[in-house]
Chains A and B, each alone.
Chain A
Amino acid sequence: MKLHELTIEQAGGLLKNKEISSVELTRAVLARIEAVDGKVGAYLTVDADGAMDQAKAADQRLAGGEAGPLTGIPMGIKDLMCTRGLRTTCASKILENYVPPYDATVIARLKAAGAVIVGKLNMDEFAMGSTTEHSGFQVTRNPWNLDRIPGGSSGGSAAAVAADMCLGALGSDTGGSIRQPASHCGVVGIKPTYGRVSRFGLVAFASSLDQIGPLGKSVTDCAIMLDAIAGHDPKDSTSVPEPVPVFADIDVDGLTGVTIGIPREYTAAQGLDPQVGAAVAQAVKTIESLGARCVEVSLPHTDYAVAAYYVIAPSEASSNLARYDGVKYGFRDKEQADLLQMYRSTRSRGFGPEVQRRIILGTYALSAGYYDAYYGKASQIRTLIKKDFAAAFDRCDAIVSPVAPTPAYGIGETLDDPLTMYLSDIFTLSANLAGIPGLSVPCGVSDDGMPIGLQVMGRHFNETMLFKVARQLEAQIAINDRKPNLE
């Protein structure tokens, strides 16, 4: 087997037994990036020298017997988590040359675990988008079909994992931005419970919805990465001081006694591609064959989730993005002698069209006379959506559904039609509104070879249940060995 094709679990075993070194593994991953990223476009920054230094340090730790499951493992990071001394752009011209003076908590934790950070991955600018076409720098292509989107906004992370350009990656998820690209690229991704992972050093999009999580080649790999980054952080006042179990200890003893909820509103959703529906139905049968009991549940306010989300998220974004004023960091239009004109010109030149669209939408929704009708109303609907899930979880341990209504579509198809792009988030963004965890695991393949994912959602802080269901489904379906052909 080629080294870059290894999972974290496999590579960890080989590293521990000294059958391979981190230097060899990191070199193989860098060579893979060199060979295929010209076609895929997943990386915005590759830190080859830094990665080799980290690999050498990891090999010393391994030699000293102080290794953990991520020691020496080459990883990619979505380019909105601050990496000290390594450019962090958020895929925006406004942060094109920003070099953070500190590490995000997740980065500090990965470094403490001995992971090797290979580089920074492309995304929709400020994580606003579902296609990664809204990057200020480059389009990322789906490794399974280079004419298709990889999904987004963590499209670079998903594409890099699928194309073996890292062993695992971190992404962020505000409305589906980990789960949807994971589904489109045939990898596993989990959005943990809101508050499970520190957001300190994550460039903010919508602070009440944003959550960092891993994307990996297997369910176990995602659990290993989540183990390294989860837990309370005093630097993030919304991180929750809940005990953190060892996620990688996944129960694989069948699903007897587990009740799975199937939301009737999702099954009946408009625009659901029949192939996606069939793959999800087949996955449900497999889950039942493992001993789980399936019941129909209802999430009655599903039809309003997209509308509520596209008020709340842009409102929070318009406030969060006020900090980009050309003064403290980032781009400034230096031609302007007047302060107000400097702000306006800097922001209009620095932000791309999708970001400006959302700032306008959010500012409008928060402006005098409209606040109650838009933000106030959406926040009430959010309460109803949260209650829908609470009632559903009284009857089941996990909810399964599609991740996206269709397999990955063509590049350019929704560029001038933002509403259609927004509507494709229907199955994922409720989890962000309710703060519950959601995971995407490959469950099928379309007629033209595109991956299809299954979403598993659970109660607050019960990621363990998601891993348990997904890991056993993954073992039955066994499609993770399929590789895209990029030669």
Chain B
Amino acid sequence: MKITQDEVLHVASLARLEIDDADVDRFAGQVGTILDYVDTLKKVDTTGVPATSHAITLTNAFREDEVKGQLDPEDALANAPEKESGAFVVPKII
């Protein structure tokens, strides 16, 4: 198989996903099929071909560092699953 179950679990862990045993098998099969197909890219000689990360070439978009139109802190926190005293609350880290 193109991608092993261990690799799926490793990648899932990198991506902060939790995958149960039944799904590991299914994902390994499906992603493996897709990767086999992606291997067709190897047939193309790309020696010396530059990479394109964006189709439209733009120079840097600079602007003055001015404060304007900021979100109200209350609005910014409105969707937080948990909040307290104007801050996001997360599970204890230390």
For residue A434, CB closer than 8 A to chain B, the reply is yes
Interface residues of A in 286-319 (CB under 8 A from B): 301, 303-304, 306-308, 310-311, 318
User: Are B34 and A419 closer than 8 Å at their CB atoms?
Assistant: yes
Decide if A339 is an interface residue (CB 8 Å cutoff): yes
Q: Establish whether residues B46 and A339, one from each chain, have CB atoms under 8 Å apart when the complex forms.
A: no
Check A318 against B15 for contact (C-beta < 8 Å). yes
CB pair A336–B91 under 8 Å, yes or no, is yes
In angstroms, how far is the closest chain B Cβ from the Cβ of A378? 6
Cβ A364 vs Cβ B31 within 8 A:
yes
Does A10 lie at the interface of the complex (its beta carbon under 8 Å from any beta carbon of B)?
no
**Which residues of the partner chain B approach A422 to less than 8 Å between Cβ atoms?**
34
The answer to whether A383 touches B52 (Cβ under 8 A) is yes
Contacts of A199 in B (CB 8 A): none
Contact pick for A434, options B49, B55, B80, B81, CB 8 Å: B55
Bound Cα distance A101, B73 (Å): 10
Contact (Cβ within 8 A) B61 A329 = no
Interchain CA distance A340-B16 in the complex, whole Å: 8
Tell me whether A384 and B40 are in contact (CB under 8 A): no
- B49 engages A384 (CB within 8 Å): yes
Interchain CA distance A365-B80 in the complex, whole Å: 32
Chain A residue with Cβ nearest B43: A304
Q: Quick check: A435 and B18 within 8 Å, CB to CB? A: no
Which residues on the A side are within 8 Å of B27 (C-beta)?
356-357, 360
B41, B50, B54: the one contacting A377 at CB < 8 Å is B41
Q: With A325-B16, A330-B79, A357-B27 known to touch, is A383 a contact of B56 (CB < 8 Å)?
A: no
- Contacts from A to B (Cβ < 8 Å): 97-99, 101-102, 193-195, 208, 234, 237-238, 240, 301, 303-304, 306-308, 310-311, 318, 322, 325-332, 334, 336-340, 342-345, 347-348, 351, 353, 356-357, 359-361, 363-364, 367, 374, 376-384, 386, 418-419, 422, 432-436, 460
- Interface residues of B, Cβ cutoff 8 Å to A: 3, 7-8, 11-19, 23, 27, 30-31, 33-35, 37-44, 46, 49-56, 58, 60-61, 63, 71-72, 75-76, 78-82, 88, 90-93
A-B contact pairs, 18 of them (CB 8 A): A99-B79, A101-B79, A102-B71, A208-B54, A208-B55, A240-B56, A304-B43, A310-B34, A343-B16, A348-B18, A360-B31, A363-B15, A381-B41, A381-B44, A386-B52, A418-B30, A422-B34, A435-B55
